[in-house]
Each structure stands twice: as C-alpha cells, then as structure tokens.
A = this chain, B = another copy of it.
Amino acid sequence: MSIPSSPRAVPAAPAVEPEPAPARLDLVALPGLPLIRPGDDLAGLLASAVIAVGGAAPGDVLVLAQKIVSKAEGRYVDLAAVAPSAAAEALAAETDKDARLVEVILRESRRVVRHSRHVLIVEHRCGFVMANAGIDRSNVDPIEGSDPVLLLPEDADASAARLHHALSARLGVPIAVIVSDSFGRPWRNGTVGVALGAAGLPAVRDLRGEPDLYGRPLRVTETGFADEIAAAASLLMGQGAEGRPAVLVRGLAPAGPPRPATDLIRGSTEDLFR
C-alpha cells in the first residue's frame, strides 16, 4: 500500500467545531436488591437501592437485567403443565431440547430463523432475533413439584416506560431505563448485553447529517446507543452469580429525543440475514 505522496502534509483545520463527547462514564452496580418475586414493587426496590448509592442525577440511566423485570411481572411458565404440540416434538428431536420447552419457545415466537443440534434461533413475537425466545431456565427459583421457566416481559419497552416514569417520580430526577439481556450473535463467539426495552433516551442515535472532522458527511448514520449501554452494564452484572441485576450509568451526554428499543430491530425487508 502507498503512503500519500506529500509526506507529513499538515491536515487543514477541522471545518467544524467538534461537538464534545462526554469525558467520563461511571457505572455502579446497585447493591442490596433482594431476589425478586411476582408482584414485587420493582420501582420501589430500585429507588431505595439508588438512594443507597447516593441518589440519581439528571442524565442517569438505569440498566436492568430482563430477568428481574420478568420476575416482578410474573412471567413464569410451569413446564410440568405444558403439552408439546407435534411441531414442538419434531423440532425438539432435531435440536435435542426438551419438547415442552420448545413448545413454550414456539408460543413466544413468530417463526424459526435457524436451527441445528442444540441451537434454536427464533424471531420473538416482539421482533428480536434471538436464541430460545429468551426463555431462561437458569437462575429460576426451584419450586417443589414444578419446572418453571421464565419468559421475557410481555413488552419490554412498555416495562421500561413504566419503570422510567415511576423511578423519575420517586427519585425527583429524570432517569432513563434500559431493560437488557445477553444475546449470542452470528459470526462472533460469546454473548453481549443488548437492549430489549428502553425509555427516556434514544435507543438508536441518528448521526445523519453530522459532519466528520473535515466537514464531510459521515457514512455511518446510526449507532446502537442503548445496546452499547447494555453491553457496558453487562460487564458489572456478572453471569453465574447474577447478584447485580441493576446498574446505574452516569455521564452520558444528552442524546436527543427518546426512541424505543424496538427501533433497534432491523426490518426484515432490510435485513440480509433473515
């Protein structure tokens, strides 16, 4: 490859004054949350935990592991009471999964996107393309005589909005909320945090029309803002212990009018991989 022929040519000064990005970001995992049960006042428990770490500041974002939202909403299904359909039985045989679990996954899905042995990737009824419709068997309280699994919230954006309003009211400060989960992804190993629901911030940020350093239009037009925040929070949440399902994020600059997390879901006509 060649280096431009004018060595060390001094670049022209940037054509526009760059907008400063925030200089620091601080994340704190909220301590002291109890194991969440159906019907718990999650906003109340979270507000107390935020106060215990010093309260909220304008611009704060609270990231909540989907699990505690689903638990508070009672989103349990007892597999012991599920009768698998023929379709579920067939798919269970191909994927080497429990047929009752596959039945529940199918009930939560629009369609199957890909499957193979041990892998079942679906389009969730809310639009997310994800493994197993997000249904979780780990970290679900074992109850004698039943086999509970935990579904995703009915509508994670709506859950985020309710919590956003309740927490902002209780804390006296606008506090955005993200409901997060960990997804696998094509082409790359390992799961990363992503946003299922969001309220009080733009889940997708539109940079269209913003210039680069030299005044030329940027080619990347959108960033997955809420996904990046969810990934950051995931670093503090841990995995096996699941002891830290709520993370407060401070320092994000105001990012524009709110947009829900469903805006992060690529339309199937634009998606080359559906």
Residues of A within 8 A of B (CB): 1-6, 8-9, 11-12, 18-29, 31, 35, 37-38, 74-78, 81, 114, 116, 119, 121, 128-129, 137-139, 141-146, 148, 151, 182, 184-194, 204-205, 207, 210-214, 216, 218-220, 222-225, 227-229, 231-232, 234-244, 251-252, 263-266, 271-274
Contact = CB atoms under 8 A, between A and B. Distances in A.
Contact of A11 (B142, B186, B188, B235): B142
A212 B242 contact: yes
A136 B251 CA distance: 29
Contact of A29 (B23, B191, B236, B238): B23
Which 9 pairs of residues, A with B, have the shortest CB-CB distance? A18-B241, A21-B238, A190-B224, A232-B232, A186-B273, A231-B231, A11-B141, A129-B187, A210-B240
Given A5-B78, A22-B235, A184-B220, 11 more contacts: A1-B77, A6-B146, A12-B142, A21-B29, A129-B186, A138-B218, A188-B227, A189-B224, A190-B225, A210-B239, A228-B234
16 contacts: A1-B76, A6-B143, A9-B143, A19-B238, A22-B236, A27-B27, A27-B232, A129-B187, A138-B216, A138-B218, A187-B273, A189-B222, A192-B223, A210-B239, A213-B241, A228-B235
A223 B23 contact: no
Contacts of A19: 238, 240-241
Nearest to A239: B207
A207 B143 contact: no
Nearest to A225: B190
